[in-house]
Chains A and B, each alone.
Chain A
């Protein structure tokens, strides 16, 4: 007996900016749409029209569609309806919302990854303003924050969000699921200007390699030129042991993170603020990352109400070598960004490097050196980024070059 009724989405007293869809394909008397929405008087017709269009797009001629809407933006309704359809019939082509102009920018390997804001992949209300908090990166999560029964619809929501939510320049990231499901996730998200993939619970250098191969296949198929970066998350004892191998397993790996909640669970110990129980793991990740030339990233700080403790934690984290931290609440972002931002000495050093490069260029020299040390291109690039960031963070004045030259 084929299943002809599907329910997707969310509704309820605490649900906002989302919708619940009930699609019944068993009836035979045309298309009936029943909309219950707090914005019915403003968007009722456009919602109904859009749903008719989606049903037609999928060659559905007979359906009973019930929508309970709490102010869902159009791309959310699209995702929920598509998820319902996919549960019932095979879907060939995706009904995609436009990719907004503001989301067409690229990322690069060396960009700073101070703060990454996790967003549960099936909660549209938290996505709307995520880009406003100046996080270095925004992670649409398909893994632990999405219930197993909702993984299918979350994929479509995340795909649509990549196209329609303004990321305001943050790095566009998705955390995929483990194993086969994760590879399947890639099909939905990679084609939409995805910058970076977080690979959870990485224990084996083959994980990132498999992901990378699958990504390349998709890129080839869709003609995507830009790279998609990878960030494995180490969350177990075995992962820690193999950290260096994992860090080196693919050229597209730009950073490696540690997930301390699962790691401490794996060890069978309590996670503490001082973190003695995870010191080895953290240092190992840092060392392995630096040895492999990638950025080590620290775990999220779970106490969202204590910003003072967070600040201390960030300081400690930076001092042992981490270059960024995950976050689970927008209020944490400013503290984390400030904490990982370049120190005055770092900026000074970067300024010297950039100035030296400019001098060398002027003199037509090919090699840049500061003092007796030669400066490799990646170091120069990093220095330029530091200056850029320092300018953006207003840590140095616009005319820093003149000031510096005057000093010498």
Chain B
């Protein structure tokens, strides 16, 4: 295994799962010089003229698609922890006796624990996509055959568009579809809002299967997935568990600590003048982030100002802001609750987006760069403002990248973080896994002080006189160590278990095996 030091000073591999890998070269330094990848041409002669592409089962669809050993199968994660598609899919793959599949999900969840046995018996060779919980642990302990690859939402689009990952068969779960293959996520028992994560799969995969539990007569309108890309459609009993896809209702955190972080973040934004008429923001739906958007809403109400748009993760609170005229548009990547689904279906100003429009870096601009403020999380941040979102300090893969890396290109990036979590320092000397370079991260808000990246002298200037407690990032790190003790470095194995890609497909870091005691 050959290693090379990349531009961020991290030692990374030069080969990945049998192919070449390019080391990270810095922000905006690597530019592609080839053309987009394209799937083979098709002819209507090979497809039913009446538009009825229905087959009886996922297994039959896979067989008809010519599924072979070693192929790449992709799925999306709009059903989150309520997904039933991936598990059914791989049960079928197993029944067909196929092996060494590369699974290419847009993310995986604890419900996919079912698939660990397929990793163990070789049905699945390796996974390229974020991993949560049990699969993350499995991979961290070196038990998967191939090397995992983690990408952001934008990075996944880029990888397929660039031909880095060639999808043989895309399996797209759709809450509503017609026999031709048009599909959307707006209605049906498994309604999830939109299908943006499956867009690239539909456009570039050799074969596309749409699986639905709610087949309607042609046409299925609106078509978020176009049937003209689809080979087969299948109707099954259930594709998702509704209460795990979208929450009945989103609630703001009650935790006083998280509310404090949210409050400090909002006060910082107000004091530095970032919240102004016509601004735009993205906060996500995690505990602290949601509370931040609520504080923004209050500030905006008090000052009588409107936001031009907000990017989501849409949820009840964002929808309320839209309906009350506090924001002009919601540009939505995924819906987290029923309010989001309802709003997207009926409100023209609640617009669905995909990783192509929001995040793709190998394109002619994307929405993320246009956003004024983005509020993000992290597992660790180091004294150079570099951040980690995929591993814990003990080295275990526990989290996906999501849109996190893509969002770093927004104008002001703020991370509200506790100084430490259950004695684990969050601000440390050097991140365990580098996911985002410090030059793109502007402000760290902790309950014990706010650190502004020295590169942002403009923010430092505007923050003066705000009455908030500012500290240098190394002071925060020292404080974390004083309270928790200086941590020893977690033991790390030799074997590389995962590669972390940057938004341009280069390798920004790798994850090594966690030695099991």
Q: Is the contact region of chain B dominated by helix, strand, or loop, or is it mixed?
A: loop
Contact indicator B447/A129 (Cβ below 8 Å): yes
> Is B461's beta carbon under 8 Å from chain A?
no
Give a binary string over B435-476; 1 marks a CB under 8 Å from any A CB, 0 the rest. Answer: 000000000000110000000000000000001000000000
Residues of chain B lying within 8 A (CB to CB) of residue A331? 256, 259
CA of A262 to CA of B424, assembled, Å: 40
Given A38-B422, A331-B256; 7 other pairs, CB 8 A cutoff? A41-B395, A41-B490, A42-B424, A42-B488, A46-B485, A71-B422, A330-B256
Q: How far is the CB of B256 from chain A (nearest CB, A)?
A: 4
Contact indicator A45/B488 (Cβ below 8 Å): yes
Contact indicator B256/A71 (Cβ below 8 Å): no
8 nearest A-B residue pairs (beta carbon): A71-B422, A42-B487, A71-B423, A41-B490, A330-B256, A41-B394, A39-B423, A132-B447
CA of A72 to CA of B483, assembled, Å: 11
Partner of B424, one of A45, A71, A329, A394: A71
Residues of chain B lying within 8 A (CB to CB) of residue A330? 256, 260
> Is B335's beta carbon under 8 Å from chain A?
no
> Is A20's beta carbon under 8 Å from chain B?
no
Contact indicator A129/B488 (Cβ below 8 Å): no
* Residue ranges of B at the interface with A (Cβ–Cβ < 8 Å): 256-257, 259-260, 393-395, 421-424, 447-448, 467, 483-485, 487-488, 490-491
If A70-B422, A71-B423, A73-B483 touch, whether A43 touches B488 (CB-CB below 8 Å) is yes
> Is A136's beta carbon under 8 Å from chain B?
no
> Is A284's beta carbon under 8 Å from chain B?
no
Q: How far is the CB of B421 from chain A (nearest CB, A)?
A: 8
A330 nearest in chain B by CB position: B256
Residues of chain A lying within 8 A (CB to CB) of residue B257? 129
> Is A74's beta carbon under 8 Å from chain B?
yes
Give a binary string over A50-65; 1 marks a CB under 8 Å from any B CB, 0 the rest. Answer: 0000000000000000
> Is A17's beta carbon under 8 Å from chain B?
yes
Q: How far is the CB of A68 from chain B (nearest CB, A)?
A: 13
Q: How far is the CB of B492 from chain A (nearest CB, A)?
A: 10
> Is A16's beta carbon under 8 Å from chain B?
yes
Contact indicator A73/B490 (Cβ below 8 Å): no
A-B contact count (CB 8 A): 57
> Is A133's beta carbon under 8 Å from chain B?
yes
B393 nearest in chain A by CB position: A42
Q: How far is the CB of B116 from chain A (nearest CB, A)?
A: 22
Partner of B485, one of A38, A74, A129, A133: A74
A interface, size bucket = 20 to 34
Q: 12 pairs across A/B with beta carbons < 8 Å? A: A38-B394, A41-B394, A43-B484, A43-B488, A45-B488, A71-B421, A71-B422, A72-B423, A129-B447, A132-B447, A330-B256, A331-B259
Q: How far is the CB of A403 from chain B (nearest CB, A)?
A: 19
Give a binary string over A8-43; 1 marks a CB under 8 Å from any B CB, 0 the rest. Answer: 000000001100000000000000000000110111
A304 nearest in chain B by CB position: B254
CA of A73 to CA of B481, assembled, Å: 11
Contact indicator B490/A42 (Cβ below 8 Å): yes
Contact indicator B423/A133 (Cβ below 8 Å): no
A129 nearest in chain B by CB position: B257
Q: How far is the CB of A332 from chain B (nearest CB, A)?
A: 10
Contact indicator A329/B485 (Cβ below 8 Å): no
Residues of chain B lying within 8 A (CB to CB) of residue A17? 422-423
CA of A61 to CA of B397, assembled, Å: 41
Give a binary string over A68-112; 1 marks a CB under 8 Å from any B CB, 0 the rest. Answer: 001111100000000000000000000000000000000000000
Residues of chain B lying within 8 A (CB to CB) of residue A132? 260, 447-448
Partner of A73, one of B394, B423, B447: B423
CA of A133 to CA of B257, assembled, Å: 9
Residues of chain A lying within 8 A (CB to CB) of residue B394? 38-39, 41-42
Partner of A133, one of B260, B422, B424, B483: B260
Which of A38, A42, A129 has the most chain B CB within a 10 Å cutoff? A42
B428 nearest in chain A by CB position: A42
CA of A16 to CA of B395, assembled, Å: 21
Which of A16, A72, A129, A394 has the most chain B CB within a 10 Å cutoff? A129
Residues of chain B lying within 8 A (CB to CB) of residue A133? 256, 260
A71 nearest in chain B by CB position: B422
CA of A133 to CA of B484, assembled, Å: 20
If A45-B488, A129-B257, A132-B260 touch, whether A39 touches B483 (CB-CB below 8 Å) is no
Residues of chain B lying within 8 A (CB to CB) of residue A41? 393-395, 488, 490-491
CA of A41 to CA of B487, assembled, Å: 8
CA of A70 to CA of B422, assembled, Å: 7
Q: How far is the CB of B475 from chain A (nearest CB, A)?
A: 14
Contact indicator B256/A73 (Cβ below 8 Å): no
Q: How far is the CB of A374 from chain B (nearest CB, A)?
A: 38
Residues of chain A lying within 8 A (CB to CB) of residue B491? 41
CA of A43 to CA of B467, assembled, Å: 36
